Amino acid sequence: MLTALSIQNVVLIERLNIEFQSGLCALTGETGAGKSILLDSLGLALGARSESGLVRKGADQASVSAAFQVVENHPAFKILQEGGISVDAADDFILRRSVTKDGRSKAYINDQPVSAGLLRQIGEMLIEIHGQFDTQGLLNPTTHRQMLDDYTGLNNPLAGHWENWRVAAQALEDLKSSAQASRAEEEYLRSALEDLDSLDPQAGEEKILASLRERLMHREQVLEALNNAYHALNGENDPVRSAWAALDKIADKIGEQGKGAIGALDRASSEIQEALSEIQRLSSDLESSEHDLGSIDDRLFELRAQARKHDCVVDDLAGMREEIAGKLNAIEHADDLLADTVKKADAAKAAYIKEAEKVSKAREKAAQKLDKLVAQELPPLKLEKAQFVTNIERLGESEWGAGGVDRVRFLVATNPGSEPGPLNKIASGGEMSRFMLALKVVMAEVGCAGSLIFDEVDAGIGGSTADAVGERLAKLARDKQVMVVTHAPQVAARASHHWIVQKDGGDDLRTSVVPLEQGQPRREEIARMLAGATITEEARAAADKLLEMSEVA
């Protein structure tokens, strides 16, 4: 609930701090005293549109803070957490907004900067403001379905089914588009696959061919060099072999000291023999090679041409071939895949419709109950001849969504035999407020807002009708904090807490809000509301009677 409101430099309000209590709270005062400024100030803290005109003359900035006591499991905590705002469950929510004289505004929640949009989202979850021409409640048909769902206890029951259907339907559309595009390039893919199959590229082939090409380009030079090396190492005057033979003859005479030299020469001879074998192999490979520069150049040209065609490197051609083959396979089996995807989309749609039918039935059942209970609230509000109807219509498929397949509208008829129609076209301002009050009384437990504000809900009525409005507001205040801006003494007398809004000062006018204690101060204000500027003893007696009746009730 709203526990405190602090206002600085807003129009006629220089500085104002108000502490509120639970139950029914009444704000009264003469016309023009500043009650609307009070509500505008609160609206600013709740994220309403800011205007430089709200800044008090002579001030650089206007500022409003609203403190709320919030239950631990309130959904606002989750919204703030998702927005990166940390709020302890044990703390109050403090919504603050400032606006400079040049129109720039800043928003805060518990002194943490937030966007005006987030401030407004949280504000709407904490408090509801209803006026004669409220466009966020009964007068806005787009809110009626959610209001009925709240009353029914439905919390986005179709969101999952709707999302599943949307995903399945999108997958089907994507597959159709993909299949259509694939069929358009099928001929190209088949030709490309045929070319790659014919070429049969191998991983690492380009490097091997490039190396072989380099060797073939210098074939004669390499063969000559290999031949010279072979003859140099295998000639009759081999110094290593000759040295080894000479030392070997006298090995027994040299003894142990000669073994090192003989071993080294022996190893050198072995290395020379190995080199001769390698030279022979290289020479043989070059002489017997089935490749020639022309065929290698042609092969490299074809490989690199295909790589350019498919915008890849030569080593990726084998993988490209598999990718193309996969696309062709998908085209060949597209009908099977398409049929399977159609089944999935149809199944998701059927599941959505099945659940939507259940939701529709639940809405219809709740609507009948709601209409019956609202009808019981209308006679005490002097709307005994009126009718309240929750109209549920089936939407066209193109209008279905996460909210279901129904259009919900609250319709009213104020005269017997009249066809129910939209509230704003049928009812007067005072009647609209009373219809809204009746609905709120019935739906007292619905919604997460702990506070309700009614701005002149009693406009255009008086006497027993105003008393009935006051009685219903008091009834509603048993479950919620209810604040009412009123000119009706019958309504004000029902309040548990009472404040008077008044102007002070001469040329420099200021708006103040004064709490009225039970007893004489409150009696005088009720009497003023009954009699006007001149308060008579009769008005005081009538005020006493109203206060006594409210205490009995």
Residue given tokens 């070997």 in the structure block = 248
Position 99 scores a pLDDT of 92
Give the closest residue to 286 by CA, choosing from 373, 199, 227. Answer: 227
Whether residue 127 contacts residue 121, with contact meaning beta carbons closer than 8 Å, is answered with: no
The contacts of residue 478 (CB under 8 Å, 6+ apart) are 444
Give the closest residue to 124 by CA, choosing from 50, 49, 43. Answer: 43
Position 245 scores a pLDDT of 76
Write out the DSSP string of 533-547.
Answer: SS--HHHHHHHHHHH
CB burial of 441-454 (b: ≥16 within 10 Å; e: otherwise) equals bbbeebbebbbbbb
Kindly report the number of other CB atoms within 10 A of residue 472's CB atom: 22
Position 359 scores a pLDDT of 95
Whether residue 513 contacts residue 4, with contact meaning beta carbons closer than 8 Å, is answered with: no
CB burial of 204-236 (b: ≥16 within 10 Å; e: otherwise) equals ebbeebeebbeebeeeeeeeeebeebbeeeeee
Kindly report the number of other CB atoms within 10 A of residue 362's CB atom: 16
Position 351 scores a pLDDT of 95
Which H helix or E strand runs over 489?
helix 489-492
Strand-pair partners of 297: none
Residue given tokens 């309240």 in the structure block = 388
CB burial of 145-169 (b: ≥16 within 10 Å; e: otherwise) equals bebbbbbbebeebbeebbebbbebb
The contacts of residue 470 (CB under 8 Å, 6+ apart) are 458, 488, 490, 491, 492, 493, 494, 550
Query: At 381, which amino acid appears?
Result: L
Backbone Cα Rg of the chain: 46
- pTM of the complete model: 0.62
Whether residue 2 contacts residue 65, with contact meaning beta carbons closer than 8 Å, is answered with: no
Whether residue 230 contacts residue 276, with contact meaning beta carbons closer than 8 Å, is answered with: yes
DSSP state of 415: S
The contacts of residue 140 (CB under 8 Å, 6+ apart) are none
DSSP state of 34: S
User: What span, in angstroms and rounded, lies between the C-alpha atoms of 131 and 154?
Assistant: 27
Give the closest residue to 61 by CA, choosing from 13, 103, 18, 16. Answer: 103
Query: At 421, which amino acid appears?
Result: G
User: What span, in angstroms and rounded, lies between the C-alpha atoms of 535 and 528?
Assistant: 6
Whether residue 414 contacts residue 388, with contact meaning beta carbons closer than 8 Å, is answered with: no
| Alpha-carbon dihedral sign for residues 514, 517, 519, 520 | negative
Per-residue confidence in pLDDT tens, the chain, 553 aa: 999 999 999 888 888 899 998 999 999 888 777 788 888 889 899 988 888 888 888 888 999 999 998 888 788 888 888 888 888 777 788 999 999 988 899 999 988 999 988 998 888 888 888 765 554 566 778 889 988 998 898 888 899 999 999 999 999 998 888 777 777 777 788 888 899 998 899 888 888 888 878 777 776 677 778 888 888 777 767 787 778 777 777 777 777 777 788 788 788 888 888 888 888 888 777 666 556 778 888 889 999 999 999 999 999 999 999 988 888 887 777 778 888 899 999 999 999 999 999 999 999 999 999 999 999 989 888 888 899 999 999 999 999 999 999 999 999 998 888 899 987 787 776 677 788 888 888 887 676 678 888 887 776 677 878 888 888 888 888 888 999 888 889 989 999 899 998 887 666 678 888 888 878 888 988 898 888 778 888 888 988 888 888 775 5
Strand-pair partners of 412: 388, 421
